[in-house]
Structure 1
Amino acid sequence: MRGRDSLGVYLRGVAMGAADAVPGVSGGTIALLTGIYPRLIAAITAVEPDRLLAVLAAPLPDRRADAVAAFREIDGIFLAALGLGIATAIVTVSRVLEHAMAAYPAATFGGFFGLIGASAWLLRREMAFDTRGRQAAAVAGFAVAFLLSGQAEGALGHGLPVTFLAGSVAVTAMILPGVSGSLLLLLLGQYEYMIDHLSAFVDAVFAILTGESATIPPGTATILTFLAGGVVGLFTVAHGVRWALKRRKAATMTFLVALVVGALRAPVVQTATRLDAGWTTTAIGLFSGAAVVGGAVVVGLERAAGGEAIEI
């Protein structure tokens, strides 16, 4: 892949990362909109343990040829450029969101509410209730999300096992149509926690690079555990979801869309915990106005993509 092509993939990664950083917007939608979704899915599913080990063995002289071959098989340059773009956007956007959630909770979480609600509305055509199994999937998806919203943080806490789980679940958003990794983190009560840790980690890394500090960045274990969960999830959870979508697509999509609907409770609960004066008229107005804007963003993206469904 030429330098200009890599730059184009990097910029697409920036757009995907910015989308995935906010609950309700799927990076998969951006990948579809920018024309790289089929290539992304092909690259992700090509990443297998034996190929990954072959790439990691590149420093060994007698393994270099195998490493190059494996790197090409997983479309390594494409994934590296895309991943760098996603990381760039997430680091940048997360800092903005950290401030916004603290300073403007009603507007910020209202925007999330609109993003999530519009995503559910646009995905409604993927739902089916014609069998008891699909009806049960809808009830289960809604119940899981509704019960987790606002409750998961207190129940699960923020230990490293929970962080590992969050990473393995969030990575599946790369193949889930209309569902973002941030939304899954919000459901698990880990969204703000990871945003805070990521911002602190980045600040510490910059301090080390500029010579202002020589200490290990705080939260390093949390970030590394989350990334390790993502790698494991790529080989397990993501492939399991893909298997379910191929063999039971109607029931799986019904469950996923119901999950998004149930998740609408999360922004409301998160806002309520941050409003010192409660739900005043001003807070309700800000929340509602931001929800309309968030919904308009998702509808605009869907129209830009031509209303085309993502095929798994």
Structure 2
Amino acid sequence: MANYIYLFLKGIAMGAANVIPGVSGGTIAFVTGIYTEFIDSLKAFDLTALKLALRFEIRALLKHVNFAFLFPLFLGVAVSLFSLGKLLDWLFSDYPILVWSFFFGLILASVYYVSENIRKRTAPVYITFVLGTVAALALALLKPAEENPAFLYVAICGVVAVCSMILPGLSGSFVLILMGNYQLVMLQAVPDLNLQVIFPFAIGGGIGFIVLSRAISYLLHHYHDTTLSALTGFILGSLAVIWPWKEEVFLVDDAGELLLKDGESIVQGYQWYAPSLSNSGTWIAIALMVLGVLSVILLEKTAKSR
């Protein structure tokens, strides 16, 4: 029971990370020591699992898909997604710098701990690290699309977002921002149980889980160090998105007037700036950043002790 509770809490942490733009649930899974088992468990949803289900061999099916591991983990993710969406929406509206600072510390520490798992640091490892970093930085500079509630587009969002949710350093929520549907899915549909949006997103997400989990599992087992170095680069590059001191840049027309979508301004990117050290709020943000780093250190030590 203690182990199930522990997995449930890890699921809550992964769900919270997936709600926040710039933070990856895959990073949390990696830091807490469950990433490889998580990916291999997702890969188990294959033809063998389908045959067992059709023959109603429930016990064999649950064992094959590692149900004892996935159930408490996904239960925690679900609880987190449905309960924290509104809270995080409020926190980001009223205390954006403080929230971003805490998660910046989380991801900064994650870079070190993920890189620790690389066994041999060869030239291909360094090259893939640089490529991963550049790719994440390039994503940070892309302009977000407009919101689109069409069934097919929401399903595609599900495929892409879920793929990024299980990649350490690549935030599913940030990908949803780039695709224009972050507010529609994470802040409106999920907390309000809007099935018209959740259903196509879940279909796409299921496809993404099945396809990408098999690809990552293959890469981790056959190209362990280069795969980890690329993922570490993704995490490092994602820090550009999470930098606390930034201002939203809104989309304007040729006349310089703000373009609106359903009465709200459309974010097209961010403008970063350095904080003022004479401001007391800056030191509070830095303290939260340090707290984020210490949280990851504690998680890592707990995972190793277990």
Q: What TM-score do you get using the length of structure 2 for normalisation?
A: 0.72
- Name the stretch that deviates more: 190-199 or 84-93: 190-199
- Corresponding residue number in structure 1 for 2:130: 139
2:200 to 207, 225, 236: 225
Secondary structure in 2 matching 1:21? helix
In structure 2, what is the Cα distance between the partners aligned to 1:77 and 1:304?
Answer: 21
Report the Cα distance in structure 2 between the residues aligned to 1:194 and 1:70, rounded to whole angstroms.
35
Distance in structure 2 (CA, Å) of the matches to 1:270 and 1:94: 22
Counterpart-to-counterpart distance in 2, 1:254 and 1:267: 20
Q: Secondary structure at 1:151's aligned position in 2?
A: coil
Instruction: Tell me how many residue pairs correspond in the alignment.
Output: 272
Task: Name structure 1 gaps, 5 residues minimum.
Answer: 58-62, 174-178, 206-216
Question: What letter matches 2:233 in structure 1?
Answer: A
Instruction: Identify the residue that residue 45 of structure 1 maps to in structure 2.
Output: 43
Going from structure 1 to structure 2, the CA distance change for 1:234 and 1:84 (only over 3 Å counts) comes to same
In structure 1, how many angstroms separate the alpha carbons of the residues matched to 2:117 and 2:246?
30
Q: Does 1:163 align with 2:157?
A: yes
SS in 1 for 2:177: coil
Structure 2: runs of 5+ lacking an equivalent: 18-22, 250-269
Deviates more, 1:151-160 or 1:46-55: 151-160
Structure 2 match to 1:210 = none
Query: Is the 1:107–1:286 contact (alpha carbons within 8 Å) kept by the matching residues of 2?
Result: yes
> Structure 1 residues 117, 188: CA separation in 2 closer, same or farther (over 3 Å shift)?
farther
Q: Which moved more, 1:223-232 or 1:251-260?
A: 223-232
Shift of 1:139: 1.8
* C-alpha separation in 2, matches of 1:155 and 1:249: 38
Distance 1:31 1:296, change over 3 A: closer
Pairwise CA distance, 1:299:
1.4
**CA 1:147/1:171 → structure 2, altered by over 3 Å: closer, same or farther?**
closer
Identity of aligned residues (%): 17
Question: What amino acid is the match of 1:28?
Answer: A
Q: TM-score, normalised by structure 1?
A: 0.71
The structure where helix makes up a greater share of residues is: 1
Using a 3 Å threshold, how does the CA distance of structure 1 residues 18 and 239 change in structure 2: closer, same or farther? same
Q: Which moved more, 1:293-302 or 1:157-166?
A: 157-166
What is the CA-CA distance between 1:11 and the residue it aligns to? Answer: 5.8
- Cα distance in 2 for partners of 1:119, 1:191 equals 26
Deviation string for 1:23-74 (max 9, x for gaps)? 2663425763xxx77765554332214524753x5xxxxx5x3455434432
Counterpart AA for 2:94? A
**Offset, 1:108:** 1.0
- Shift in Å, 1:111: 1.5
> Does residue 153 in structure 1 map to residue 144 in structure 2?
yes
Are positions 1:239 and 2:214 aligned together?
yes
